[in-house]
Chains A and B, each alone.
Chain A
């Protein structure tokens, strides 16, 4: 997406004449062919299989799996069972809230740091950016383990430091006894891993906004917030749209951080849809149920981001 208005291409008529559709011919199709082939194989077929699985009921959990036994088609009964299960809705709601909190925090903090990067001296910028990049390079399984260790109830650093504050008694506090607190720690890990990319991307976007426009607004007496709202945001909107979409997709499907924070056995209060799907599906050999939940997850996600996709398509078409 183009944020910069630095270069505007030659008059449209000239462009159209030289790059006629007829001359392009089959070339674009040839170019997209490899991608289409790969995605069809690696994503398309498994997706189809999942949908099929969700419409079937297996005779005997493990037996059919080992001997390729046939499963019977039961139509939408898996979906009915799942959608009438109260636990499913609790988990779904928890996932929505968790996603919203994570995405909001990541974007807000990312935007704030992007502005900060814009504001500081070069040495500070390099220091902060380098730190962010290092944080981004750490795999989620590793960062989860580190945070688990930092928040450990007996030997964790966080409890030790917090306990030093006057009037605060955090000695031996178990952060994971209450799922809300535990999920807060998980949120910390997720946001810690997500902010670097957001901050750096948004910062790059900020640097492309023409200085003069911002200066002009400031001269006109606009406050910092007004500058942000009326000048900066319009430029950044496409970028923010893409980042928000991807953040929603990723945070909705968060698995590693919760799974490893609870050492592979997340309590019911920690279960989001991804975890629920794994525990109830693959983890207990109920592949059909797992497939059903997977399909429902995708449908839910689709409903949410269809708005963003429209926006992105509009941007893409405008070019």
Chain B
């Protein structure tokens, strides 16, 4: 997903609503309307937050409910008999722990690799004009058009012939297919927003091209790297089709595959509490990641990333 700037509430907080300290040209009517209007819009925002958050809320409380309380005709909006049974069962399953660890390994390696080589590729198209640049850009865009499912069989055969099937690196490699295009395209925008004078000034001062890359551009683009890293993380962590096809042994699979297996098994199939517990635990790392990097992203902005 490409953006002009980073997805961050802090960005909005930065360029905060100019509460009219100047009470001039907009009529006082407009000014008053804005204040009372804001109350109304705040309510709308809260309502939206409730509507959007409801499914998440439901997932969380279902994970803590007993089976009897889950399947009631009159739904409980709060767990009356909260229990940790579902969590205990899921966390006690060594396969789940293995799968969670596998997800980490695959996702982390895919993200790191794609950010690094994506950065290089973005540098090339943002800073240089070269023969084939257009083609490269178009190809990067078009790769995103390929439906993943169609590729499962060829990829399975490809990895198999290189002994990479049923291995974590093999799967991480396939994830690069969709993490790289997005990374290249987004970082290109960030880099393009950094004025070339900075490069020039540095080179006048004696830096080589490479040095301008990691001394000048890299620090300024750091928030962009984080943003693409986080989004790449989401894409890779939530990926299911490739992981399901390319990983065979139970202890090599990812957390997503575990969820699928969980909800289709004969006994667990109707165990919604267990499913929601597993789902919560699976979604948790991504949420934690967000919470962690929220501040990084906003601090990157306040450091004046976009200004020269």
Contact = CB atoms under 8 A, between A and B. Distances in A.
Interface of A: 1-4, 6-7, 9-10, 14-15, 18-19, 21, 23-24, 27-29, 31-32, 34-36, 38-39, 41-43, 45-47, 49-50, 53, 113, 116-122, 124-143, 145-147, 149-150, 154-157, 160, 192, 195-197, 200-201, 203-205, 207-208, 211, 215, 218-219, 238-239, 242-243, 245-246, 249, 253, 255-256, 260, 263-264, 274, 277-278, 281-282, 287, 290-291, 293-295, 297-298, 301-302, 305, 309, 312-313, 316-317, 319
Interface in B222-268: 234, 237-238, 240-241, 256, 259-260, 263-264
B272 interface: yes
Interface of B: 1-9, 11-18, 25-26, 30, 37-38, 41-42, 44-46, 48-49, 52-53, 55-56, 58-59, 62, 70-75, 117-118, 120-121, 123-130, 133-134, 136-155, 157-158, 173-174, 176-177, 180-181, 184, 188-189, 192-193, 195-197, 199-200, 203-204, 209, 234, 237-238, 240-241, 256, 259-260, 263-264, 272, 275-276, 279, 282-283, 286-287, 290, 306-308
Contact of A255 (B38, B193, B241, B259): B241
10 contacts: A1-B192, A24-B130, A46-B158, A139-B238, A146-B55, A155-B70, A157-B58, A246-B144, A298-B147, A313-B138
Contacts of B126: 319
Contacts of A313: 134, 137-138
A133 B10 CA distance: 13
B66 to A, nearest CB: 14
Contact of A160 (B6, B41, B42, B74): B74
Given A116-B44, A207-B14, A218-B26, A134 B150 contact: no
Nearest to A109: B48
Contacts of A282: 149, 152-153
A29 B121 CA distance: 9
Instruction: Give the residue among B5, B38, B145, B204 with the most A Cβ atoms within 10 A.
Output: B145
A6 B121 contact: no
B240 A18 contact: no
Nearest to B53: A131
Instruction: Give the residue among B9, B241, B256 with the most A Cβ atoms within 10 A.
Output: B9
A203 to B, nearest CB: 6
A1 B42 CA distance: 31
